[in-house]
Amino acid sequence: MTTLSWLLPYQMILSTVGRKYWRRVVKNYIIFFFMSLGVWTTSIGTSYSIVDKFLNFEENVKYSDEAARTQLAQDEGDDESDATADEVMVASTTPEGENEENEDDEMLDRQEQQSLFAQYFSATASSRSVLLQLIPGLTAFAVLSVDLSVSPIFVYSESIVSYLPPLLSKNSWKCAKSQLRRNTTEVHPSNWKVFLLSVYIYISESRLIQYFIILQINCVAFGIVFFPRFLGQLVVSLVVVTLIVAILRVGKYFVDVFDFFFPQFLTGADDLQNILLPLEEE
């Protein structure tokens, strides 16, 4: 019986310790299966400790950035008597301008944190989903799950959702204004610039829209490989999606190119009016 117990590990199922370990193994496989499908619950988030690990990662990134800035300042030997452009701007800003600047910093920092967490989230999920390629026939599903991990929509954990970008971005207009005010000297950015940038932000920062764009591109790619008879329809569908994404990117790049070649229009609406008035009088 002793020899038989070694050949037939029934004690692993009947014993208390054995059942405990097998329950853990089965639970991990179920978690891995749902995670590969893009479904994240509170228990899955707790199992991977993804939020805690991200906060530690973010803290290390901030510490490295602060250390790099400190070292750069020491190497350059900043002269305290020379006032920089930023210091002059801060000294001349009104309390209202300071409040707007603080709001811009908070909003952009929040957006940057969400973008960083989405990348960290994708790295955590995709590095495990790629293991599905070991099973014959699941390579296509593994590739799809890796691509969709960038913008998951089946997330039922409040802690994870609070760090991910929203399903549909509701602050794209304010975020576009904040980005233009931070990247340029415009106090009141032009509405056409804000519009182009806000549309780009709305599409790129909305998980739901990105999910269907990525899903469409992957379905077209798989369709071309497995269903070549519908090549014409698939190519048309791919061209439409690619054209939409390209138009959005062109709008954003047009704003950057305009600001680069026409810096005289970066002074804001009030200052621009003061510049045009003398020309009209002449």
pLDDT at residue 88, rounded to an integer: 43
Average pLDDT, the chain: 75
The type of residue at 272 is L
Q: Residue 128's closest CA among 212, 63, 36? A: 36
**Chain length of the chain:** 282
Per-residue pLDDT averaged across 205-233, rounded? 83
The confidence band for 111, taking pLDDT boundaries of 50, 70 and 90, is confident
pLDDT at 91 over 50: no
- Asked if 245 and 200 touch (Cβ cutoff 8 Å), the reply is no
The confidence band for 13, taking pLDDT boundaries of 50, 70 and 90, is low
Give the whole-angstrom CA distance, residue 61 versus residue 68. 11
Give the whole-angstrom CA distance, residue 252 versus residue 193. 8
pLDDT at residue 134, rounded to an integer: 79
Query: Within a 13 Å sphere around the CA of 23, how many CA atoms are in the beta-carbon half?
Result: 7
pLDDT at 95 over 70: no
Give the whole-angstrom CA distance, residue 167 versus residue 178. 21
pLDDT at residue 83, rounded to an integer: 45
pLDDT over 90, % of the chain:
0
More confidently predicted of 21 and 277: 21
The confidence band for 11, taking pLDDT boundaries of 50, 70 and 90, is low
* DSSP single-letter state for residue 151: S
- Asked if 121 and 165 touch (Cβ cutoff 8 Å), the reply is no
Burial of 273 (0-12, 13-18, 19+ CB in 10 A): exposed
More confidently predicted of 278 and 152: 152
Per-residue pLDDT tens over the stretch 167-201: 988 888 888 888 888 776 667 778 888 888 888 88
In this structure, what token pair is assigned to residue 252? Answer: 């954003």
Give the whole-angstrom CA distance, residue 204 versus residue 248. 9
The confidence band for 271, taking pLDDT boundaries of 50, 70 and 90, is very low
Element containing residue 40 per DSSP (H, E): strand 39-40
Q: Residue 235's closest CA among 216, 249, 259? A: 216
pLDDT at residue 82, rounded to an integer: 47
Give the whole-angstrom CA distance, residue 164 versus residue 159. 9
Whole-model pTM over 0.85: no
